[in-house]
Structure 1
């Protein structure tokens, strides 16, 4: 079976937790202690100096001695100094040279750009020269949208910062390191897997390494807006009064108490003047003169202008309310049924990690063609472009941290990493109307240690953001008294329960689903994974394995079963598009791809696509009520 209101004080504590867990070497589990740093929100809404493009690269080899010394600690010298071999006389460098090295495109994974690195997991060094003019009374940050999995950054030879986690952004302050004119940045990225990583060593997707998302320099005033939250007021119930009230905060890093802050949403008649408190936070609750609520049918976005001193950010934000009432999911007070698909961050057609506007456009084109109103972004936070597109196109999102199956639930240091990744995900996307679900895990073993771990994480997510629902994808239902029974205690900590099952593929025959009865919690249920594998163009009978016909047959019987479940409030077949996975090694059928996609990796529609498309067009699977 394919068995993955935030206060400034909370953010600082989160970084302290993750930084205290040191990653000193390939065999160690955490980052060395370093000063607290800022995580910027809304970087893609700012004017930045993009560092995207060609970066020189050099490949390290095990034991990766150019990065780690014999004790496993990160070398502060070596490649990070960006010296050059002296061909005449003078000191001898460490026998490397970025200036004459080949280049990789950033953002992008190294696996699909250099054939010799296709299956490489380890350390690759990136280097880029850039021109820069520091400005007085300004601060500059190097922003990395994501790099998989550990990153170590040097600017002009100074070791600036480290980060652990392959799918969330980080920002390194470089104000003291940059100089007028020519500068250079070196980033060592280590994609090696370790048992105590998030995820751990075994997972069912490709380990794309590298600087996989945008890299830029962000220059801001000495006091600047680093975090903000602008949302519809979230009370115990949803009513007409709440639909006109906006609530939240703006945090200004480096601000003194009483710093003026302005919030303007001109189309909604909002023009509010605030002041920061001693912690740099300006909270607000303001009535909008006019407000159209965001929904899949009406993905209305408002221009939100934030100002504090010399700093300005203009974002586009939609306003909506999501909550659970009994077994119903309510969007803006009305029941909604979620019909969608799972999606990995696999780039259509070219393959590799999603990192361009065209990649995202292609994926959302498939979703709209499917008549989907929902997508589960499996099994990790995706590129921020995905949420931006979902906001514009009216697609609801399930966003997940990569607790895939059997991570080290018994280790406090792993919980500290997980907590930091959760905070980074929520902090980045809390202003995206499309995101309605935070997921804390996928297919984890049902035992008390795991349940306590994930319950703590779910409670943390709820504290950080009480305006969204908390979920997890469970595969712990078991046969009992002639039914499939889910009595997993983790469900008690969730607002909505995801169920993964593969009747007709890993278990039994497609027709077995017809007579399968489910005993499930009295909560909204989404069947978050189901399906079968088929190679595009491979045809045969309804029961011939690996054929398009069998895949379509499995889905047809699944839909017949799902229609009988009264708590059903959503379905996401596995998976929208075929994606790379190194464990899928049947030649000619898989060739290194998980083939459960409704489309091939080239965007070719299988018969199963039409089965799902028709069901969604007719709204024939489940009902909002």
Structure 2
């Protein structure tokens, strides 16, 4: 039983709602604009270039009755990212909501989905600087990055798809390389604990195309388990030879290899290390690394936040390497995963960071932590990412005079290092008037 995925990208109906008077039942097709998904609304309508507030999306799509009956299982609606808060209805039934403008979310729509015609509606709140507008989403308290500089970005800016899966399916596949031991730690999570043991094939394809298969057991009643798989004589990922491995996890309901798999998920990964030396150097795979980097705002001429095609991303990274660069720093923005995929392929190192907020309130702390750890979890398998930054240039904190802010940043650093000890972390990446509190790298921004 294999997954079936239906892309919902394309033209949707769009309804700006500045007076917050619409509901999912009062949208009139004659009032609709046509909008491209994915892509922020500010990039697609001149009169909405600076609009923050509420807007509605609607899509009607067909689902063949035979496909529903043949497949069974569960159905999930997946959004790559919606900025900032989304409430979702399918066929007049509210199926969920999500807060946060940069990370993926998915909703179980098994009960709401029906054969034939379906209607999907999404209400999006994009907070602005008006403190009286929906105070539960105060702009100063949410991670928003350079939106306070370059203008608002709102709406469905990453891809949307519908996916049908078996009832018991793989929800997470995390791969942690261990180069010195010539092995990788593989962590698999499933949707439901089984009342009996399940089998997994972990099939590793090396960069030369050789496949090694490893059979492991997921004990009954277990949703998450880890195993170590050997990676003999690993072909290392680096900037000159970005060797990529592929791991396929195949979930089986039986010890019989001929049984139809319950589910299959795959991910790329690379065997590499990043560290610092006692003499103060960066080390990639144990060799001294000199960074030649550029700051990438990760904004695009057509759709602002939404990257252009994979081919164009590959061309962009090829040009960066031709210029002599080996690193790009994605500036206070969590980008589309396709960007990191392209960096993995090209052998470009990535220094990425948490989008900033303005006021470090308790709500801001909660959102910052959720966003930071969600980013690390989503992008765990990318070998190109070598550095995380929590705060850039004191934005959203006041480190010079506020001891509580310094304590909070040190605690966040310690939590992040405990969660991901395999990369470097910068607490505050400083410029004049501010400084490091705790960091793995003594960086500083000089402005001339």
Q: TM-score range by the shorter chain?
A: 0.7 to 0.9
Q: Show the counterpart of 2:42.
A: 111
- In 1, the alpha carbon distance for the partners of 2:72 and 2:212 equals 31
State the alpha-carbon separation in 2 of the partners of residues 324 and 402 from structure 1. 25
Aligned to 2:373: 423
Kindly indicate whether residue 174 of structure 2 is the aligned counterpart of residue 229 of structure 1. yes
Partner of 2:8: 51
Residue in structure 2 matching 1:296, options 230, 239, 248? 239
Match of 2:337 among 363, 374, 384: 384
Contact 1:340 1:367 (C-alpha < 8 Å) held by counterparts: no
Q: How many residues align?
A: 412
Q: Which residue of 2 aligns with 1:263?
A: 202
1:62-101 pair list within 5 angstroms: 62=19, 64-66=20-22, 78-79=23-24, 81=25, 94=26, 96-98=27-29, 101=32
User: Quick check: which has more Rg, 1 or 2?
Assistant: 1
CA distance in 2, matches of 1:175, 1:99: 30
Structure 2 runs not aligned, ≥5 long? 129-138, 253-261
- How far apart are the structure 2 equivalents of 1:138 and 1:180? 14
The change in CA–CA distance for 1:124 and 1:366 in structure 2 (over 3 A counts) is: farther
Aligned 8 A contact 1:47 1:218 in 2: yes
TM-score (normalizing by structure 1): 0.62
Distance apart, 1:59 and its partner CA = 0.7
Q: Which residue number in structure 1 is paired with residue 58 of structure 2?
A: 127
- Aligned partners of 2:366 and 2:103: how far apart in 1? 15
Give the Å deviation of 1:113: 1.2
The answer to whether the 8 Å contact 1:303/1:315 transfers is yes
Going from structure 1 to structure 2, the CA distance change for 1:439 and 1:340 (only over 3 Å counts) comes to same
Q: Is the 8 A contact 2:204 2:247 kept in 1?
A: yes
Helix, strand or coil at the partner of 1:498: coil
Shift of 1:472: 4.0
Q: Secondary structure at the match of 2:89?
A: strand
> Secondary structure at 2:29's aligned position in 1?
coil
Question: Cα distance 1:294–1:208, how it changes in 2: closer, same or farther (>3 A)?
Answer: same
- 2:414 paired residue among 459, 464, 482: 459
User: What CA deviation, in whole Å up to 9, does each residue of 1:163-208 have, x standing for no partner?
Assistant: 1221111111111110111111111111123222123897323322
The structural deviation recorded for 1:489 is: 5.4
Structure 2 Cα separation of the partners of residues 352 and 296 of structure 1: 28
1:342 aligns with 2:295: yes
2:359 to 408, 422, 429: 408
Paired residues of 2:341 and 2:382 also in contact (CA < 8 A): yes
Q: Is the CA contact (8 Å cut-off) linking 1:343 and 1:377 kept in structure 2?
A: yes
User: Cα distance 1:269–1:260, how it changes in 2: closer, same or farther (>3 A)?
Assistant: same
List per-residue Cα deviations over 1:20-64 (Å, max 9, x = no partner).
Answer: xxxxxxxxxxxxxxxxxxxxxxxxxx75210000000111013x2
Q: CA deviation at 1:339?
A: 1.0
Partner of 1:254: 192
- In the TM superposition, 1:196-595 aligns within 5 A as 196-199=141-144, 203-233=148-178, 239=180, 242=181, 244-256=182-194, 258-267=197-206, 270-277=212-219, 278-309=221-252, 310-326=262-278, 327-348=280-301, 350=302, 352-357=304-309, 360-404=313-357, 407-409=358-360, 411-444=361-394, 445-446=398-399, 447-475=402-430, 477-478=432-433, 488=435, 490=437, 492=438, 494-502=439-447, 504=448
Q: CA offsets, 1:47-95, max 9 Å, x none?
A: 5210000000111013x233xxxxxxxxxxx22x4xxxxxxxxxxxx4x
Q: 2:202, 2:45 → 1: CA distance?
A: 47
What is the DSSP-based 3-state SS (H/G/I as helix, E as strand, rest coil) of the residue aligned with 1:421?
helix
Q: Deviations over 1:83-113 (max 9, x none)?
A: xxxxxxxxxxx4x313662210101111121
1:408 to partner: Cα distance: 2.8
Distance 1:294 1:200, change over 3 A: closer
Q: Would the aligned equivalents of 1:224 and 1:255 in 2 still touch at CA under 8 Å?
A: no
Contact 1:391 1:432 in 2 (8 A): yes
Structure 1 distance, partners of 2:273, 2:429, is 26
Tell me whether 1:142 sits opposite 2:80 in the alignment: no
Do 1:55 and 1:105's aligned partners in 2 also have CA atoms closer than 8 Å?
A: yes
Compared with structure 1, are the counterparts of its residues 232 and 428 closer, same or farther at alpha carbon in structure 2 (3 Å cutoff)?
A: same
Query: 1:499 is paired with a residue of what secondary structure?
Result: coil
Check 1:307–1:330 CA distance in 2 against 1; reply closer, same or farther (3 A cut).
same
Greater length-normalized contact order (CA 8 Å, ≥ 6 residues apart): 2
2: CA distance, partners of 1:200 / 1:373: 24
Q: Is the 8 A contact 2:173 2:267 kept in 1?
A: no
C-alpha RMSD over aligned residues = 2.3
- Offset at 1:134? 3.1
Q: Deviations over 1:436-473 (max 9, x none)?
A: 11211111131322222222222222222221111145
**Shift in alpha-carbon separation, 1:432–1:214, aligned structure 2, 3 A:** same
Please tell me whether the aligned partners of residues 436 and 468 of structure 1 are also in contact (alpha carbons under 8 angstroms): yes
- Cα distance in 1 for residues equivalent to 2:250 and 2:369: 30
